[in-house]
Amino acid sequence: MKISKEIKTGVITIAAIGLLIAGVNFLKGNSFLGGDEVYYAYFPNSGGVPVAGSVMVNGVVVGKVLSIDLTESKDSLKKVLITFNIQEDNFKIPRGSKLEAGSIDLFNKGLLLSLNPDISKGFYKPGDKMQGVVTVDITTQVKAYADPLVQKVQTALSSIDKMVNSLSAFWDTTATSEIKGSLKELQIAIHKLGNVAGEVESLVGEEKVKFGRILSNVESISLNLKKSNDQISAVLGNAQKITDDLVSADFKSVIGNASATLKNLNAVLDQAQKGEGTLGKLLGDEALYNELVNTNKELQNLVNDLQLHPERYIHFSLLGAKTKGVPLTGREEKQLRQLLDSVPN
For the stretch 163-198, pLDDT in tens is 777 766 655 556 566 677 777 888 888 888 887 777
Helix (H) or strand (E) holding 302: helix 286-308
112: pLDDT confidence band, cut at 50, 70 and 90? very high
Digit-coded pLDDT (tens) for 18-60? 777 666 665 555 554 555 799 999 998 888 899 989 999 998 9
Q: Is 314's pLDDT higher than 80?
A: no
What end-to-end distance do the CA atoms of the chain give, in Å?
A: 200
76 vs 79, more confident: 79
Distance from C-alpha of 173 to C-alpha of 156, rounded to nearest angstrom: 29
Which value, to the nearest 10 degrees, does the dihedral of the CA atoms of residues 257, 258, 264, 265 take? Answer: 160
Q: In this structure, which amino acid lies at residue 262?
A: L
- Whether the CB-CB separation of 67 and 51 falls below 8 Å is answered with yes
Distance from C-alpha of 336 to C-alpha of 222, rounded to nearest angstrom: 73
- Whether the CB-CB separation of 49 and 29 falls below 8 Å is answered with no
Distance from C-alpha of 95 to C-alpha of 39, rounded to nearest angstrom: 13
188 vs 316, more confident: 188
Q: How far is CA 6 from the centre of its chain?
A: 105
Residue 5, pLDDT score: 74
- Whether the CB-CB separation of 46 and 68 falls below 8 Å is answered with yes
Distance from C-alpha of 129 to C-alpha of 39, rounded to nearest angstrom: 6
Digit-coded pLDDT (tens) for 210-266? 777 788 887 888 887 777 777 777 777 777 777 766 666 566 677 778 888 888 888
Distance from C-alpha of 51 to C-alpha of 27, rounded to nearest angstrom: 10
Can you tell me the mean pLDDT for 201-215?
A: 75
- Whether the CB-CB separation of 62 and 91 falls below 8 Å is answered with yes
166 vs 293, more confident: 293
Residue 128, pLDDT score: 93
Mean pLDDT across the chain? 77
Counting Cα atoms < 13 Å in the Cβ hemisphere of 107 gives 0
